[in-house]
Amino acid sequence: MPKKGVDKKMMRAKIAKNAIELFIKYGFDHMTVDDVAYKSKIPKGSVYSFFESKDDILFAIIENEQEFYDEEIRLKIQNSKTLEEKILSLFDLCVSQTTINQNRQKIYQEFVCLVLNNKNLKMVKFLKNIQQKYLKWLEQIFEDAIKDGQIKQHGVLFAKGLFAMAESVLLFSAIENYNAKDILQNNIENLLKLLRIDDENSY
């Protein structure tokens, strides 16, 4: 049990922040609880006062990262001018190859694998909430484009399919030489060609 007066949520966040560095350096499989304890300057037993397991540490890592990432994406979408830019902003984790995004990709991919193998209900719910939230944002982007007369009325029906494809691209991006950015951009371009009202080839 945590000592009295210790903010458990704050300590989880602090330890998870230290664990991110270890995750990036060693990978989840080779990161140990001993490493996390040493990095956090606390006894190994104290780690288990705040986390149920090593898997729970990864859960805390993605919880922390997701909060910051959500705000980044909101701002990117708000500052995007075209429909295509807004969609690509939503899928920034797939298309942007900055160092921080590459690390986030690894964290997300590892977390998805953990959820599939672990079936922890809290983690499953968290992952579903992320997916539902981003799908809702994508549907809103499509609905706004329909209101603005950019795409046809049925355009929003394609949102789920596009989102599922982007999710697959993100997971497959772990494969060497898999060009997630080009694959996603090409699919978005082709879809918008079919849906744009001013395109003579629109569906």
pTM for this one?
A: 0.88
Question: So where are the chain's domains?
Answer: 81-195
* pLDDT tens track for 74-132: 999 999 999 999 999 999 998 888 899 989 999 999 999 999 988 789 999 999 999 99
Evaluate if residue 202 carries a pLDDT over 60.
Answer: no
- Amino acid, single-letter form, for residue 200: E
What six digits make up the tokens of 49?
């006062």
Q: Which two tokens stand for residue 198?
A: 């001013």
Residue 119 DSSP code:
-
Rounded distance between C-alpha atoms, residue 35 and residue 26, angstroms: 10
CATH class of 81-195: mainly alpha
Q: What 8-state DSSP symbol labels residue 164?
A: H
* Ordered DSSP codes for 26-69: H-TTT--HHHHHHHHTS-HHHHHHH-SSHHHHHHHHHHHHHHHH
The length of the chain, given as a count of residues:
203
Indicate the SS3 state at residue 6.
coil
**Predicted pLDDT of residue 126:** 95
Q: Say yes or no to pLDDT of 3 above 80.
A: no
Give me the mean pLDDT over the 22-44 stretch: 94
Per-residue pLDDT tens over the stretch 162-196:
999 999 999 888 787 788 889 999 999 999 999 99
* β-sheet bridge partners, residue 151: 196
- What is the dihedral angle through the alpha carbons of 13, 68, 130, 160, rounded to the nearest 10 degrees? -170
Which residue intervals of the chain are DSSP H helices? 8-26, 33-40, 44-50, 54-79, 83-90, 92-95, 99-118, 121-147, 159-172, 180-195
